[in-house]
Structure 1
């Protein structure tokens, strides 16, 4: 496969729909004959970010979310998540202090920290009333395994 292959999904911004989304993502990866396991890390990152959108941007009530995933041969994936929640830049969150005892830490921030550690690219922009988070992962030359 030499050309990029894309998947676009429009979601309702709820946690309940995520299992069906990930089944569709896995089916797309299999149908596109992506290298085995390539979508695993991207799936973990998407799960964290989409759960955050559902719970924080939409307060568990849902709202419009679009996800575009692109495979760029031979080993790279990129995803763009768009939502219409309040402006929020996850890339600007401070890194959590992992040396503090768990019971003394503030709640939150570990998931985004996890995404930062896995992603090769992680960016945010606000366009009009839309949050746009882009993340990418390449297994070629990736030292964050």
Structure 2
């Protein structure tokens, strides 16, 4: 069994830097043999979470965001995101009523719901003044039924 591969980035908590961040993440994933379906779904989750940190945690003003990604080859990616933004526990959000019409649906929460449904692990903790979100995504074992 190979040791996990790790990648770390420090961001400034702005939406403007996300395209460059994802270019680097995609290159790292490609260089390290991360399967494309796993890298793509994982990138979608990180995009939602990092956008939320920038827009809501830091209210568009920016701030430190540490991203630590770990690849347990051949099928599991995990990220730990740490920021100093406004405290917010996404695990306490009520699931949105996805069956309601757009006119009747409450605004917000759909992106977090998407991440929670796509993730195999989704955890939040507050460590002093730091929000920490851990999210992971696994590919199903060969021959296993797709549950997500």
Q: TM-score, normalised by structure 1?
A: 0.95
* Whole-angstrom CA distance in 2 between matches of 1:59 and 1:144: 35
Q: Deviations over 1:12-49 (max 9, x none)?
A: 00000000000000010111122233211110000000
Q: CA shift at 1:73, angstroms?
A: 1.4
CA distance in 2, matches of 1:64, 1:36: 29
Q: 1:48-84 CA distances to partner (integer Å, 9 max, x unpaired)?
A: 0000000001111100001111000120000011100
Alignment correspondent of 1:143: 146
Gaps of 5+ in 1: none
Q: Residue 121 of structure 1 aligns with which residue? A: 121
* Whole-Å separation in 2 of the counterparts to 1:102 and 1:37: 30
Taking structure 2 as the reference length, what is the TM-score of the superposition?
0.93
SS class of match (1:123): strand
User: How many Å separate the matches in 1 of 2:4 and 2:63?
Assistant: 29
Task: Indicate yes or no: 2:5 matched with 1:2.
Answer: no
Structure 2 residue runs of 5 or longer lacking an equivalent are none
Aligned equivalents of 1:95, 1:78: Cα separation in 2: 23
Aligned to 1:27, what secondary structure does the other structure show? helix
* CA distances 1:80-129 after superposition (whole Å, capped 9, x unpaired): 11100121101110000112111121110000010011000000000010
> CA-atom RMSD, angstroms?
1.3
Q: Which residue of 2 aligns with 1:40?
A: 40
